[in-house]
Amino acid sequence: GVVLAIDIGGTKLAVGVVDANGHVLSSDRAPSSLGPEDDGEAVWERLHKLCETVLAGVGRPPLVGVGVGCGGPMLWPAGEVSPLNLQAWRGFPLRKRLRTAYPGLPVRVHNDAVALAVAEHWRGAGQDVDDMLGMVVSTGVGGGLVLGGRLVDGASGNAGHVGHIVVDPDGPPCPCGGRGCVEAIARGPGLAAWARELGWRADRSEAEATAKELADDARAGDKIALSAFERAGWALGVGIASAVALCDVRRVVVGGGVSQAGPLLFEPLERTLREYAKMAYTKAAQVGPATLNQDAGLVGAAALILAGDRYWSAD
Ligand code: ADP
Ligand code: ZN
């Protein structure tokens, strides 16, 4: 059987049909938002239409379920979503709507960072370990935790949210309302803002001074840009050292846009982790990049349905 897989972010809606091996047979995408007058129902209609188009494109195969990764926060497992960067949806009853649209099928909705972690454990860089932390370093920093080969949910579906481990009690404010979290320091826009304050690309527009340009400039030897990645790698390394001590995972897989900076980020991260992880079991933890491509969100959403109860144990 195949799964209808859905990935909902602040920028795009992605829909795919995924087979039992985790292969995306067909997929398509649409913008999450078309502007301020785009209300919740309009977003839903766009999503539903996209699902129908993708399903029709592969001849409407029989489905075994619908799996969704969606930006948080959400009421879990009820699947009432309020993605921080999709203003049109506040408490939107996504799971309920999908159940009505695709009656008789299991519908499972989880956090998008959890979906990415699950994808890497199911078919990516964590396939060979039972205990893994999957992280996404992008506009925010999120994650998911697999222990004993199973996803750990926590009381409200937010276990593994490594982005809000505090690494600097006096650090900058975090989008979560706290301060000094990993996310406050290592999120792409945070990195860029820090560098701008020191004068990096001060004369350019914000669009020309994102973490992506920062990585380009660091590669070209720009000192401020290099220190920005050094600082982000440090924050991630400290956070990961704490997470590894708490959770006893053997592998930490890091994906998301900012991770594409490669060694610029992973080198200081690894160095910092080794400085703080000194016990035999924390020393044993390996860190590496995610290996699934852009489809990871869809693969993880599908795994919520296809992997038995390994990644879904609510109802
Ligand atoms: P989203 O947060 O919507 O899931 P991404 O995973 O692409 O999107 O993350 C966006 C962040 O990643 C932005 O801050 C962007 O500047 C940064 N980014 C994207 N590509 C790169 C790159 N090659 N190197 C460093 N940072 C990058
Ligand atoms: Zn935070």
**For ligand 1, atom 12: residue with the closest CA:** 257
Q: How far is the CA of 142 from the centre of ligand 1 (A)?
A: 13
pTM: 0.94
**For ligand 1, atom 20: residue with the closest CA:** 257
Q: Residue 148 is encoded by which pair of tokens?
A: 């004993």
Which amino acid would we find at residue 143? G
Residue 16 in this model has a pLDDT that exceeds 90: yes
Please tell me the predicted confidence (pLDDT) of residue 255: 96
Could you tell me what percent of the chain has a pLDDT over 70?
A: 100
Residue 10 in this model has a pLDDT that exceeds 90: no
Among 210, 219, 292, which residue has the most ligand 1 atoms within 8 Å of its CB, making it the best to mutate?
A: 210
* 87 Cβ closer than 6 Å to some ligand 1 atom: no
- Alpha carbons 94 and 76: distance in angstroms, whole number: 11
Of the chain, the end-to-end C-alpha distance in Å amounts to 21
| Short-list 114, 26, 36, 37, CA closest to 69 | 114
**For ligand 1, atom 7: residue with the closest CA:** 257
Q: Which atom of ligand 1 is nearest to the CA of 211?
A: 16
Which residues share a beta bridge with 181? 166
Q: How far is the CA of 51 from the centre of ligand 1 (A)?
A: 26
| Residues 224 and 215: beta-carbon distance below 8 Å | no
Which amino acid would we find at residue 214? L
Q: Which helix (H) or strand (E) holds 53?
A: helix 40-57
The mean predicted confidence, pLDDT, of the chain is 96
DSSP label of 59: T
